[in-house]
Each structure stands twice: as structure tokens, then as C-alpha cells.
Amino acid sequence: MRLLKRRLTTLFGFLRTPWENGHRVDESDPQLSGAERRKEHAADRKSRLRRKRLIWFLLCFALWVLSVLPLARESMHGREGAGAVAVYLAVGAITIVVAAMIRGIYVLLTKRNLWWSPWVFAIAAVVAISIYLVQSSGPGGLISAPSTRAD
């Protein structure tokens, strides 16, 4: 029970942060030395970054799911049952693969170590929206060749 309480406090610690007159109140122990304060600050910072990263993953994942749904519905063509599920999974997989390739190119060009990030889902959402716009435009829509026949 104590471990669960500690995990919840760590996860939702920003909800109990004391504020006074619009400024965060420092609750650190005045008896701590400089090195101990740095360790405490580093641990607090690490937990805040993890929490922030989790929140961004959840938001970008939700955005990706919401952007894949209309694209999959547009691609149904009368399928039902297992065929419909396969369309949703295929559309999701295609957008994630394209986003992963874009993110991989970015990581290679910038020589960063962090490949998997919330940006993969954000890019996948943009890819899904772009494909949906192109697919739903049809003839005479967003992307169409100019008419060559004379009326």
C-alpha cells in the first residue's frame, strides 16, 4: 500500500505542489547540504520529465487514433467484420511506419539518440490527415488536374 501511495504521489505530485501568491513554495529541508539539494532536485526533475513525457505520449496517441478513424472509414468500401478490423489496423500501421521513417531520417540527420518519442504519433496523425484529405477530395477536389476539354 505504501508503494502504491508513493507511486501515485510521484505521478500526480504536481497536483499537490504548494503555491503562495502565484509562486511555488520551496519545501526543501533547510538542513540539507548543497550536494543533497542537487540530488533531490535531479530526482524531482527526472520524475517531472517522465510525467511530462507520458502526458505527451498519451495526447499524441489520442490525436493519432482520432485522425486514423476517418481515414479508415473512407477506405472501408463495404467491408464488415474482420475485414473492417483489418482496414483499421492496416491504416494505423501504414501511418505509423511512414511516421517512423520520417522520424528515423530526422534522428539520422541530427545525430540524436532519442528515436522513439511522442513526435512519432504526432507525425503519424499529420500523415493520416494528409492521406484522408487527398483520398476524400476525389475528382475535382483538392488535388486534381486542370480540365483540358473545352465546354
Over residues 40-92, the pLDDT tens digits come to: 777 788 888 888 888 998 999 999 999 888 888 777 777 777 777 888 888 88
State the total domains in the chain.
1
Long-range contacts of 126-133 (CB under 8 A, 24+ apart): 126/67, 127/95, 127/98, 127/99, 127/102, 128/64, 128/67, 128/68, 128/71, 128/91, 128/95, 129/67, 129/71, 131/71, 131/95, 132/67, 132/70, 132/71, 132/74
On whether residue 150 sits in a domain, the answer given is no
On whether residue 110 sits in a domain, the answer given is yes
**pLDDT tens digits, residue range 5-30?**
555 555 555 555 555 555 555 555 56
Residue 96: domain span: 2-12+34-136
On whether residue 144 sits in a domain, the answer given is no
On whether residue 8 sits in a domain, the answer given is yes
On whether residue 28 sits in a domain, the answer given is no
What confidence tier does 122 reach under pLDDT thresholds 50, 70, 90?
Answer: very high
On whether residue 85 sits in a domain, the answer given is yes
On whether residue 146 sits in a domain, the answer given is no
The confidence score (pLDDT) of residue 85 equals 82
On whether residue 103 sits in a domain, the answer given is yes
Question: Which pTM value belongs to this model?
Answer: 0.60
